[in-house]
Each structure stands twice: as C-alpha cells, then as structure tokens.
Structure 1
C-alpha cells in the first residue's frame, strides 16, 4: 500500500517521538511512549481528507516533540 505525503509525515513524527523517548531516563521512558501513543490514538478518527486539521495536529505534535525533547524534561504525565 502506498502512503500519501501526509501519512509519511505522520509516521515520521511518530518515529521521532519514539526515538526521543530513548533519550529520557530509563524509568520514565514508558511514560513518554505511552503519552506519544495516546496522543496519536486520540486523533485516529480524523477524516483523512481534513487536511487543515491534520496539518494543525502535525504542527502541534512537532512543537510538543521539540518541547519534550529538551534535556530538562525528565518526566511526563499521561492524560
């Protein structure tokens, strides 16, 4: 199955999130993975033709990744 450009961007962001988890303290990595998984699962129901919403969520996800990738962030609370 071929993926669209947006689908590739979403998968790329998800992979980046999982890689960023590995830079966190071992005991807290599961919290970061769980948070990332929950954020992506929360938005699975969005219509694939709703490009505005998808692009907004991609930008939001990139900002969150940048913020949570900071070395000063040691733990995250899943919501």
Structure 2
C-alpha cells in the first residue's frame, strides 16, 4: 500500500514525538507517549480527503512538539 504525502507527514510527526519522548526523564516518558498517542487517536476517524483539517492538525502538532520538546518541560499530564 502506498502512502500519500500527508499520510507520510502524519507518520513522521508521530515518530518525531516518540523520539522526543526518549529525551525526557525516565519517570515521565510514559506520560509523553500516552499524550502523543491520545492526541493522534482523537483524530483517527478524520476523513483522509479532508486536506485542510489534516494540514491544520499537522501544524498544530508541530507547534505542540516544539513546546513539549523544550528541555524545561519535564512532565505532561
């Protein structure tokens, strides 16, 4: 199965989130992983042809990743 460009972007963002989780303290890594998974699962039913919504969510996810990847952020709930 071939993936579209947007699908590749979504997967890439998810992988970036998981990579950033590894940089957090051991005690809180699972919180970050659970948060990322929950955020992606919220929109799993989104129509794959709704390009505007997907692009908006990708930009939102990138901004959240930038904020949460900051070294000052130690935990997320």
Shorter-chain TM-score tier: over 0.9
Aligned-partner Cα distance in 2 for 1:47–1:14:
18
Structure 2 gaps of 5+ residues are none
RMSD: 0.3
Deviation for aligned residue 1:30 = 0.1
Aligned-partner Cα distance in 2 for 1:57–1:34:
18
Deviation for aligned residue 1:4 = 0.2
Deviation for aligned residue 1:19 = 0.2
Aligned-partner Cα distance in 2 for 1:20–1:43:
21
How many residue pairs match? The answer is 77
Structure 1 gaps of 5+ residues are none
TM-score, with structure 2 as normaliser = 0.99
Runs (4+) off by over 2 Å: none
